[in-house]
């Protein structure tokens, strides 16, 4: 009887050499089963034999793994500290099932939420989602049940469910992992949402940069057509625009229009896709619904978390971190625990200088702030945001002045151009940061073209440039149509506040007014 070997078919595992490893094991007569990823990215490709893990494995390790002499064993995977310390709900099947096996899905509790939803009906579904305290996991943090109720009560038909799978934030990969590893969970969540609001059609808007997730979702949708009927799901592929992660830009793109922000009101819940009432939820929000709907699930979800932040959050550890991967835990865990206890500190072994939470528009968190609990309100109070749960670690070699400049550059490139603060303010922001770092004067690269400058304009010193930056950020925050321009000040102001030396500023001056 051949040895049974399990290896993930997650795209990260593939990028690390999983396909070559599969061939190597099959070549020596082993039976290889493909599984979803456990989420321990630093150990990929991870090999599992009789529950014991070996990783990161290479083709040269195959013989030693099989004869028991390999030194890459991590012991039983379920007992590994990274896994044992989690409380997995959304990712309960991670590493344990074949992503496209309907038998595996049903055997692990799949479709139980949909079955109960069909029994209790739309009004009770919405009530239980409200009771659970589930909030949007895409970053906005709006109560999912309230949004569903608004759409259910809105006038107009047909109504739609739209899944925002345009995961574009730096350091985030939970949506991809779920679609590649547990696609039926997303489909079940969308079908439940459709029952709740009376929708017969749903769309998954998936970024083109995720070819493996696209392939998995296409197959999963085809396999479940009969199961979720009369609800129907259509997959749409985005074209790489970051701003299409914003719900109204996404809706424009779905309609075949240019991906640019719509003014609100009207809200998408009232006039969304094709002008009809629409629920727009993130992948993780919809995937959480099925276990909430299982009998007692709402009570369980409500019992977890911190304050108004209920349930668990799949937190993604990335950047310069020793143990990067996906760690699902109840809200309330601190960055100190995540970075040091779970992540093991930096991969470089150098001191942690900063952590960015919430994607490229999230604030940079100083180590002095690492005891802030991970929840929506605590981060908002600290002029930050939890976003999609991405945590990117930087060691002490990072230049925070350059990172602040990059935030404005990113906004410039990704702006849809519809509103002036975002479109023009981001360009002016780059220029102001350059002048601050040059001590208030025009940087050398601009002095090469003096004819382009008004030599009669009043010169601002560094302190005045800092005040100008603060004023500009206020305009961006309060005047932008969407979060792209509105949140760009977070990384900029946090960088200059906590690391003024990287801008050539005295500490007292850098903190003044910011």
Give the three-class secondary structure for 419. Answer: coil
Kindly state whether residues 381 and 413 are assigned to the same domain.
no
Give the three-class secondary structure for 305. Answer: strand
Could you write out the three-class secondary structure of 25-79?
A: HHHCCCEEEEECCCCEHHHCCCEEECCEEECCCCHHHHHHHHHCCCCCEEEEHHH
**Domain end call among 395, 422, 451:** 395
**In-domain check, residue 417:** yes
Is the distance from CB of 445 to CB of 435 less than 8 angstroms? Answer: no
How many Å separate Cα 419 from the centre of its chain?
25
**In-domain check, residue 91:** no
Instruction: Please report the pLDDT score of residue 467 as a whole number.
Output: 94
Q: Is the peptide bond before 158 cis (omega within 30 degrees of 0)?
A: yes
**In-domain check, residue 289:** yes
Write the burial class of residue 430 (CB in 10 Å: 0-12 exposed, 13-18 middle, 19+ buried).
middle
* Residue written as token pair 């945590």: 391
Give the three-class secondary structure for 2. Answer: coil
**In-domain check, residue 194:** yes
Instruction: Please report the pLDDT score of residue 273 as a whole number.
Output: 97
**In-domain check, residue 493:** yes
How many Å separate Cα 405 from the centre of its chain?
23
Which of 17, 208, 188 lies closest to 118, judged by CA? Answer: 188
CATH number, domain containing residue 356: 3.10.20.600
Under DSSP, the state recorded for 351 is P
Kindly state whether residues 388 and 406 are assigned to the same domain.
no
Mode of pairing for the β-strands spanning 364-365 and 352-357: antiparallel
Read off φ and ψ for residue 303, nearest 5 degrees.
-80, -10
Residue ranges in the chain modelled with pLDDT below 50: 446-456, 510-513
**In-domain check, residue 89:** no
Rounded to whole angstroms, the Cα distance separating 255 from 3 reads 51
How many Å separate Cα 329 from the centre of its chain?
15
Instruction: Please report the pLDDT score of residue 139 as a whole number.
Output: 77
Kindly state whether residues 383 and 406 are assigned to the same domain.
no
Q: What digits encode the pLDDT tens for the residues 286-312? A: 999 999 999 777 788 888 988 889 999
At residue 510's C-alpha, the angle toward residues 506 and 514, to 5°, is 170
Instruction: Please report the pLDDT score of residue 506 as a whole number.
Output: 76
Instruction: Please report the pLDDT score of residue 456 as a whole number.
Output: 44
CATH number, domain containing residue 31: 3.40.30.10
Q: How many domains does the chain have?
A: 4
Kindly state whether residues 415 and 381 are assigned to the same domain.
no
**Domain end call among 337, 368, 395:** 395
Is the distance from CB of 44 to CB of 18 less than 8 angstroms? Answer: yes
Residue 134 in tokens: 């589930």
Kindly state whether residues 343 and 476 are assigned to the same domain.
no
Domain range for 432:
400-511
- How many other C-beta atoms are found inside a 10 Å radius of the C-beta of residue 468? 16
- How many other C-beta atoms are found inside a 10 Å radius of the C-beta of residue 107? 10
Does residue 93 come out as left (phi exceeding 0), alpha (psi in the -120 to 50 range) or beta?
alpha
Is the distance from CB of 224 to CB of 183 less than 8 angstroms? Answer: no
Read off φ and ψ for residue 395, nearest 5 degrees.
-90, -175
**Domain end call among 303, 325, 357:** 303
């Amino acid at each position: 009887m051949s040895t049974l070997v399990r290896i993930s078919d997650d795209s990260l595992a593939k990028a690390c050499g999983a396909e070559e490893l599969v061939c190597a094991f099959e070549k020596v007569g082993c039976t290889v089963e493909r599984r979803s990823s456990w989420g321990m990215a630093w150990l990929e490709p991870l090999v599992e034999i009789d529950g014991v893990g070996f990783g990161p494995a290479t083709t040269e390790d195959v013989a030693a793994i099989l004869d028991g002499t390999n030194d890459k064993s991590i012991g039983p995977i379920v007992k590994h500290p990274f896994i044992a310390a989690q409380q997995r709900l959304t990712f309960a099947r991670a590493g344990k099932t074949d992503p496209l096996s309907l038998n595996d899905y049903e055997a692990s509790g799949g479709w139980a939420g949909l079955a109960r939803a069909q029994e209790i009906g739309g009004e009770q579904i919405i009530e239980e989602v409200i009771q659970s305290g589930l909030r949007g996991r895409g970053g906005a943090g709006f109560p999912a049940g309230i949004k569903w109720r608004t759409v259910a009560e809105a006038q107009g038909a047909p109504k739609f469910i739209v899944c925002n799978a345009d995961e574009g934030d730096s350091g985030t990969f939970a949506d991809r992992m779920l679609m590649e590893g547990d696609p039926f969970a997303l489909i079940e969540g969308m079908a439940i949402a459709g029952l709740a609001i009376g929708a017969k059609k749903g769309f998954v808007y998936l970024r083109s940069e995720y070819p493996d997730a696209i392939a998995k979702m296409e197959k999963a949708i085809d396999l479940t057509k009969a199961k979720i009927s009369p609800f129907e799901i259509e997959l749409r592929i985005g074209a790489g625009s970051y701003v299409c992660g914003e719900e109204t830009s996404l809706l424009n793109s779905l309609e075949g229009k240019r991906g640019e922000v719509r003014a609100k009101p009207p809200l998408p819940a009232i006039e969304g896709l094709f002008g009809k009432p629409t629920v727009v939820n993130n992948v993780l929000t919809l995937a959480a619904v099925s276990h909430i709907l299982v009998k007692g699930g709402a009570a369980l979800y409500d019992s977890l978390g911190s304050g108004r932040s209920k349930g668990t959050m799949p937190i993604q550890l990335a950047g310069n971190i020793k143990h990067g991967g996906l760690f699902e835990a109840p809200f309330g865990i601190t960055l100190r625990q995540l970075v040091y206890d779970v992540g093991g500190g930096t991969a470089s072994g150098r001191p942690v200088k900063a952590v960015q939470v919430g994607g490229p528009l999230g604030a940079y968190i100083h180590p002095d702030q690492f005891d802030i609990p991970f929840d929506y309100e605590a981060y908002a109070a600290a002029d930050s945001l939890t976003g999609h749960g991405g945590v990117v670690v930087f060691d002490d070699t990072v230049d925070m002045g350059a990172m602040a400049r990059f935030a404005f550059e990113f906004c410039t490139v990704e702006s849809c151009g519809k509103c002036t603060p975002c479109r023009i303010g981001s360009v002016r922001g780059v220029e102001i940061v350059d002048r601050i770092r040059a001590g208030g004067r025009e940087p050398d690269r601009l002095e090469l073209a003096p004819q382009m400058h008004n030599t009669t304009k009043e010169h601002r010193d560094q302190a005045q440039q800092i005040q100008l930056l603060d004023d500009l950020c206020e305009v961006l925050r309060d005047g932008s149509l969407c979060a792209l321009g509105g949140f760009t000040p977070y990384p900029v102001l946090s960088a200059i506040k906590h690391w003024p030396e990287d801008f050539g500023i005295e500490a007292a001056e850098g903190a003044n007014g910011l």
